[in-house]
Amino acid sequence: MTSKNRSMANRNRALINAWYSRMWNRWDKGVFSDLLCPDISLRGSLGVAVKGYDGVSAYMDQIRGAFPDFHNTVEEIISEGPTAFARLTYSGTHKGEVLGFPPTGRSIRYAGTAAFRFHDGRICQVWVLGDLYNLTRQLQPSGGEP
């Protein structure tokens, strides 16, 4: 790997870590212009596709409404050129309606991945793929199979 590619990979890893630690774990929307392209495209695991800062903000509000203490743990990041992938563990307490399930008050934990594309040192596309089978199983009133 050339020093230029190593530098890009390190910058992309730092952006991903900031995306999760600053935006999603602290709900800090004030970092949008530092981290995101203005026309960012985000496809979330809950079947939501949004664009721009307003779309990302609304999606964050939706997640926070369902899981006020939602936490993302980055397990691994693989970065190559303008693309990177992260393997994650999501956790939180189910306090609001999500995927048609009323709040259960239960702690949830499930795995996911996210694919990122970068442009000019910022995140311009994100596609999140969470393990919805495992999540919906935890949201069931009986905690059983969906």
Residues with Cβ within 8 Å of 50's Cβ and at least 6 positions away in sequence, in order, are 41, 42, 44, 56, 58, 59
Whole-angstrom distance, CA of residue 88 vs CA of residue 77: 9
Mean pLDDT of 14-25: 97
- pLDDT-above-90 percentage for the chain: 87
Whole-angstrom distance, CA of residue 9 vs CA of residue 28: 24
Q: Is the pLDDT of residue 97 over 90?
A: yes
H/E/C letters for each residue in 1-61? CCHHHHHHHHHHHHHHHHHHHHHHCCCCHHHHHHHEEEEEEEECCCCCEEEHHHHHHHHHH
Instruction: Return the pLDDT at 4.
Output: 77
DSSP assigned state of 79: E
The CATH number assigned to the domain with range 3-139 reads 3.10.450.50
Q: What is the pLDDT of residues 80-94, one digit of tens each?
A: 999 999 999 999 999
Confidence of residue 2 (pLDDT cuts 50, 70, 90): confident
CA angle 39/117/53 to nearest 5° reads 25
Q: Is the pTM of this model over 0.85?
A: yes
Instruction: Return the pLDDT at 6.
Output: 84
SS3 category, 64: helix
Q: What is the pLDDT of residues 20-33, one digit of tens each?
A: 999 999 999 999 99
Whole-angstrom distance, CA of residue 107 vs CA of residue 134: 13
Edge to edge, the sheet with strand 36-43 lists: 49-51, 36-43, 122-130, 107-119, 83-93, 71-80
Specify whether the CB–CB gap between 73 and 88 falls below 8 A.
yes
For 125, phi then psi, to 5°, come to -145, 140
Q: Is the pLDDT of residue 146 over 50?
A: no
Instruction: Return the pLDDT at 13.
Output: 96
